[in-house]
């Protein structure tokens, strides 16, 4: 990740945008996230960007379709998704880092769980 960059994502867009803080007229890079319908949260840990995403709905389930939520690990240098982690059966609301060794993800109340991921 370069100095002077700002990374953004939107809950209704399946992409990340990289902006330069010196020129915020338009993003310098758009990173598509296939199969993702929205970005809910992001965190930088070591040299990685961890992204809490909402995937497309999976058919079935008691609420007319279960959510497929993922945590994506993105390399900020190549802008490529390094890992796709199956996270929760509900929206991921938060990501936080513990000692730069673990990432914790928290989901909505239907799932109501916290997942702990080891950072490589």
For residues 52 and 95, the answer to whether their CB atoms sit within 8 Å is: yes
Mean pLDDT over the full length of the chain: 87
Domain ranges of the chain: 35-118
Q: Residues, the chain, total?
A: 120
Residue-wise pLDDT for 43-57, tens only, equals 999 999 999 998 766
Is the entire prediction scored with pTM above 0.75? yes
Distance CA 7, CA 90 (A): 24
For residues 79 and 62, the answer to whether their CB atoms sit within 8 Å is: no
Distance CA 56, CA 113 (A): 20
Q: How much is the average pLDDT of 102-106? A: 95
Distance CA 74, CA 78 (A): 8
């Amino acid at each position: 990740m370069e100095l002077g960059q700002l990374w953004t994502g939107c809950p209704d867009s399946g992409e990340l945008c990289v902006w330069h803080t010196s020129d915020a007229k338009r993003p310098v890079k758009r990173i598509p996230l296939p199969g993702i319908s929205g970005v809910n949260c992001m965190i930088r840990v070591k040299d990685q960007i961890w992204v809490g995403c909402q995937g497309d709905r999976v058919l079935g389930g008691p609420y007319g379709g279960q959510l497929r939520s993922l945590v994506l690990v993105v390399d900020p240098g190549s802008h490529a998704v390094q890992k796709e982690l199956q996270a929760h059966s509900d929206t991921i609301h938060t990501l936080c880092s513990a000692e730069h060794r673990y990432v914790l993800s928290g989901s909505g109340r239907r799932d109501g769980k916290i997942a702990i991921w080891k950072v490589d």
